[in-house]
């Protein structure tokens, strides 16, 4: 499924570099946050999540950072690979039920 908008923010990185994708959320009562990756023609794929009682969580090659003071969420991808090219969405919710999605960021990898 196409997930891009005409004015989707884009991040371009060199293959092998680290990528940082940022997201500002709006609801100070949100207690659950999640990152999804969406490739062209596919549904959103879960990457990593974090609860509001944490400020950092690590997965395989990915790290999510949460700053509740400024309502900011970031996704760090280490050693970016061509297969990381996609649109990345953050989402927030209260109680991990009704997710509210951000607009998405397109990540492109330069060889």
By beta-carbon proximity to other proteins, the closer residue of 95 and 111 is 95
3 lies in the binding site for other proteins (CB under 8 A): yes
82 SS3 class: helix
Residue 13 or 90: the one with the smaller Cβ distance to other proteins is 90
Look at phi and psi of residue 29 and say left if phi exceeds 0, alpha if psi is from -120 to 50, else beta. alpha
Residue 24 interacting with other proteins (CB under 8 A): no
In the bound state with other proteins, the residue whose beta carbon lies nearer, of 33 and 84, is 33
Is residue 103 within the footprint of other proteins (CB under 8 A)? Answer: yes
Residue 20 or 96: which CB sits closer to other proteins?
96
Instruction: Please select the residue that binds other proteins; options are 13, 23, 34, 77, rule is CB under 8 A.
Output: 34
Q: Site for other proteins (CB under 8 A): how many residues?
A: 26
Q: Are strands 56-58 and 62-67 parallel, antiparallel or unpaired?
A: antiparallel
Give the C-alpha separation, 101 to 35, whole Å.
9
Token pair 């953050």 is at which residue? 90
C-alpha separations of 25 from 3, 28, 73, 85, 95 in Å: 19, 8, 7, 23, 15
The binding site for other proteins (CB under 8 A) comprises 1-6, 32, 34, 36, 41-46, 49, 89, 96-104
């Amino acid at each position: 499924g196409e997930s891009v908008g005409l004015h989707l923010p884009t991040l371009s990185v060199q293959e092998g570099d680290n990528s940082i994708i940022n997201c500002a959320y709006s609801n100070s009562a949100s207690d659950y946050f999640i990152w999804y990756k969406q490739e062209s023609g596919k549904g959103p794929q879960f990457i990593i999540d974090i609860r509001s009682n944490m400020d950092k969580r690590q997965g395989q090659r990915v790290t999510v950072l949460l700053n509740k003071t400024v309502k900011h969420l970031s996704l760090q991808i280490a050693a970016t690979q061509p297969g990381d090219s996609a649109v990345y969405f953050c989402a927030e919710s209260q109680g991990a039920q009704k997710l509210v999605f951000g607009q998405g960021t397109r990540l492109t990898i330069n060889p």
